[in-house]
Amino acid sequence: MGDNFIDYDRLRAFDAKAFEATTPFPWHNMLGFLTPRAFQELFAAFPTLELFERHDNLARKHSQRPHNRYYLAYESSIYHRKDATGVVRQAQLPAAWQRFMDELRSSREYHDFIRRALGIPSFTLRCAWHVGSRGSEVSPHLDATKKLGTHILYFNTSAEWNADWGGETLVLGGRRTQAMNPDFGDFETRQAARIVDNHSFLFKNTPQAWHGVSALTCPAGSYRRLFNIIFEVPANRGFIDRARKLLNAGRTRGSEARGGA
């Protein structure tokens, strides 16, 4: 148990009911998801920028400002089909990250925790690393509906990241416009999640789950680093839901033909 990367006592102590009741949407800024040793090991071995692809001025669905950043996908990318810069295979990762990915993908307790926290029966797991530099921002947005939720692990420390540079994930509430490309000033409330010293951010994707990150003011050579664990609707779930509706409709018709139950 001492070799685990995840602190499972944190997961067991998590209050799923309190999480679900959090406004404006379910979110939690967890301290210590990783064990102290694991955080330091993964922080020191964070993938190098040579593996990443640069995203500059990519068009967004609702004409939002682009999310300029460095991006690295695990095993396959949603941005391109063929192997290219910006995709890393398991064997290419530093040894610490290989072991962590093995635990993350196989841990029944973590998967049960996510199902309990998000209130979902199943999910597909997708992972990616993001790196932000001076001027990078994440304009206010909602995630795609196929995303059930996201767990963001931050890899900065208070020793090398100055809070004045920004970088906090902002939880936004009370949208004052119907536009789907609002600015930060279009929200009545904002709550900031800490990003240093083994903090992580878990949230459930809902129609109210607006979030973003103000433009970074860090100097050249300083970077905001994170690892995204994304929980998506399983690829066959739509088929299963449609089959269940057809089955239930058939049962209803059969019941009506027999005069009911």
Domain that holds residue 137: 8-257
What is the CATH classification number for the domain harbouring 43?
Answer: 2.60.120.620
How many domains, the chain? 1
Does residue 172 fall inside a structural domain?
A: yes
Does residue 66 fall inside a structural domain?
A: yes
- For the segment 42-68, the average pLDDT, to the nearest whole number, is 87
pLDDT band at 155 (very low <50, low <70, confident <90, very high): very high
Does residue 3 fall inside a structural domain?
A: no
In angstroms, rounded to a whole number, what is the distance separating the alpha carbons of residues 201 and 136? 19
Name the pTM for this structure.
0.88
Residues 225-238: tens digit of each pLDDT:
999 999 999 987 55
pLDDT of 238 reads: 55
Does residue 142 fall inside a structural domain?
A: yes
Does residue 18 fall inside a structural domain?
A: yes
In angstroms, rounded to a whole number, what is the distance separating the alpha carbons of residues 193 and 205? 16
Residue 83: CB atoms within 10 Å: 10
